[in-house]
């Protein structure tokens, strides 16, 4: 079970190509495999010049060990020549998750990051809605991994990965978004922000599922 996570954003310096940024992320992932508490790790691309990492841990101790470990240092050192400035690191809580015990062998290539603000006083209802959504996502075979997250007191979200665009589209038109839309007037204090991401590389348990 996961309780803690990190969302890291990295901006590529002007003039540097995608391959160099992705090489740094893959090198960091290789080191991350040695961290037993870094249970799942996804290198992602937000857009043309922005990359990131989403990873989860069983507890605070695992997350702190990761932040103090070689992966974070590698991003600060090796990434310094590729990325503009230090990584933007956001700590988060994991409310519910879906993660297979082992890899199916099919690479994950697409991801989705949905974030939104709850209405004041409705934080517990939003958290429960996201926990209940896990049962719906378990019925989606193409939603390979799914995490309901809490970013701060009133901001929540969902991060999930898919083998292809078809799997992502099936999720976006499935039960969870429909239920969220149904309760949006009573629960949400903002329009959800939807980020369509690419997966550069991924790892969970003792498996590695590369995007390429």
- Asked if residue 210 lies in contact with residue 161, where contact means CB atoms within 8 angstroms, the answer is no
| CA 203 – CA 201 distance, rounded (Å) | 7
Residue range 162-201, pLDDT digits in tens: 999 999 999 999 999 999 988 888 999 988 999 999 999 9
Question: φ and ψ at 52, to 5 degrees?
Answer: -170, 180
Predicted local distance difference test score (pLDDT) of residue 4: 97
Which of residues 65 and 36 earns the better pLDDT score?
Answer: 65
Predicted local distance difference test score (pLDDT) of residue 207: 47
Write down the mean pLDDT value for the chain: 89
Residue range 10-55, pLDDT digits in tens: 999 887 777 888 888 888 888 877 788 888 999 999 988 899 999 9
**Strand positions, DSSP E, the chain:** 4-11, 40-45, 50-57, 88-98, 110-117, 145-150, 155-162, 193-204, 207-208
Which of residues 112 and 77 earns the better pLDDT score?
Answer: 112
Could you tell me the domains of the chain? 4-205 (3.30.70.100)
Write down the pTM of the prediction.
0.92
Predicted local distance difference test score (pLDDT) of residue 106: 74
Query: Percentage of the chain with pLDDT > 70?
Result: 92
Query: What's the pLDDT band for 105 if we cut at 50, 70, 90?
Result: low
Q: Is the pLDDT of residue 212 over 60?
A: no
Q: Residues with Cβ < 8 Å from 152, sequence gap 6 or more?
A: none
Predicted local distance difference test score (pLDDT) of residue 208: 46
| CA 16 – CA 132 distance, rounded (Å) | 43
Residue 97 falls in which region: left (phi positive, over 0), alpha (psi -120 to 50) or beta: beta
Q: Which of helix, strand or coil describes residue 94? A: strand
Of the listed ranges 54-68, 138-152, 179-193, the least confidently predicted one is: 179-193
């Amino acid at each position: 079970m996961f309780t803690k996570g990190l969302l890291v954003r990295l901006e590529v310096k002007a003039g540097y190509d995608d391959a160099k940024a992705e090489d740094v992320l893959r090198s960091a992932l290789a080191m991350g495999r040695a961290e037993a508490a870094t249970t799942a790790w996804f290198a992602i691309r937000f857009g043309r010049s922005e990359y990131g990492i989403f990873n989860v841990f069983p507890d605070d101790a695992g997350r702190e060990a990761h932040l103090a470990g070689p992966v974070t240092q590698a991003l600060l050192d090796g990434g310094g020549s590729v990325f503009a400035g230090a990584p933007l690191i956001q700590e988060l809580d994991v409310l519910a998750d879906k993660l297979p015990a082992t890899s199916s062998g099919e690479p994950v290539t697409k991801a989705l990051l949905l974030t939104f603000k709850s209405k004041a006083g409705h934080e517990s209802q939003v958290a429960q809605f996201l926990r209940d959504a896990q049962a719906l996502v378990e019925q989606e075979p193409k939603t390979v991994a799914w995490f309901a997250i809490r970013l701060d007191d009133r901001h929540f979200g969902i991060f999930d990965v898919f083998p292809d665009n078809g799997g992502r589209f099936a999720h976006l038109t499935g039960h969870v978004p429909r239920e969220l839309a149904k309760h949006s007037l009573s629960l949400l204090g903002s329009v959800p922000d939807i980020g369509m991401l690419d997966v550069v590389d991924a790892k969970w348990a003792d498996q590695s599922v590369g995007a390429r």
